[in-house]
Structure 1
């Protein structure tokens, strides 16, 4: 799925959103359609946001992530331990954002495979520069957009538990539940496990 996606900067306004994903999955489990979920989230302020403008911007991303999860993964997010929910959310972000998946696969996976537990500013810079050279659409992005994406990527890694410390850039290995690992392998998504350093 990730391969066909175009590069996008939507993560600048959508970060980790695990709480929001759970709310959408609860509505989905009640049989609501995507359109009904979107309407309910906005009308009833299901995410409990101060401003509904934020809701309108974020809901599509959360609905896309929910749609990327099969029933078993949805159940784990709703009923499993928090740490497992974080990992599944990280997987859903990779499934719905090609650039972030490539970052995980080309930067994080390679570092963990080499037992290099230090993510430096230059790693992010090199990744974005090379992508901008390869992609015309990305080449047109502003410095502000790229800078915001770098911040969001660091925040995502931190919230998922992959980044121990945002200041030092120290990385952590994720502890993936055996059942979750087997399920992702079973559905043919081993590449996402590898991208998470598994």
Structure 2
């Protein structure tokens, strides 16, 4: 469960990375281990980045995300719709990043449960302020780190399809495929389904 994870700022170098996520899932399904995947991604520039440093920065996050998926979820990423793949990626981000999971659970879920489809800058600011009050680690982050995390959170919401419009802050309910929802519930991860506003 997420509580074992400490708050971290690793998302500053990661974001949604859906394309990269799919590449790594595909290699994982072929039976490659993490170190082999690392070698292939770097040798063949599978993420198609112009700067190698960007690859070495984002790869550990992507490997962690793919690592928390079971075989069923991995095959769904490649075989089901792009929407389903994005939801699984969002789930993997929540599963590997406590700060983002709690944000989804405490801010987004609450808004969707009360049919409040407006996401404002102040929601994000209040969330980070309250986390800094609860956790010395978060309180010690630079303003630059916090601002970068806020940008990444917004980007993830947008790319996952929860944030319909960055300018107006209009939120959107995700339509989670029944089969996927059942699978999350069967593996004991209903908390993540709820955090997505289901």
TM over 0.5: yes
Task: List, as ranges, runs of 4+ consecutive aligned residues in structure 1 with deviation greater than 4 Å.
Answer: none
**Equivalent in the alignment of 2:173:** 173
**Equivalent in the alignment of 1:63:** 63
Q: Is there any run of 5+ residues in structure 1 with no aligned partner, and where? A: none
Describe the superposition over 1:169-188 as per-residue Cα deviations: whole angstroms up to 9, x where unpaired. Answer: 11001101000000000000
**Equivalent in the alignment of 1:102:** 102
TM-score norm. by structure 1 comes to 0.98
Q: Are 1:81 and 2:87 an aligned pair?
A: no
Q: Are 1:45 and 2:56 an aligned pair?
A: no
SS of 1:115 mapped into structure 2: coil
Q: CA deviation at 1:96?
A: 0.4
Q: Paired residues, what number?
A: 198
CA distance in structure 1 between the partners assigned to 2:66 and 2:13 by the alignment: 17
CA distance in structure 1 between the partners assigned to 2:25 and 2:128 by the alignment: 33
CA distance in structure 2 between the partners assigned to 1:16 and 1:100 by the alignment: 12
**Equivalent in the alignment of 2:148:** 148
CA distance in structure 2 between the partners assigned to 1:28 and 1:113 by the alignment: 36
SS of 1:118 mapped into structure 2: coil
**Equivalent in the alignment of 1:189:** 189
Q: Are 1:91 and 2:91 an aligned pair?
A: yes
Q: CA deviation at 1:130?
A: 0.4
Aligned Cα RMSD in Å? 0.7
CA distance in structure 2 between the partners assigned to 1:31 and 1:156 by the alignment: 28
TM-score norm. by structure 2 comes to 0.98
CA distance in structure 1 between the partners assigned to 2:30 and 2:5 by the alignment: 29
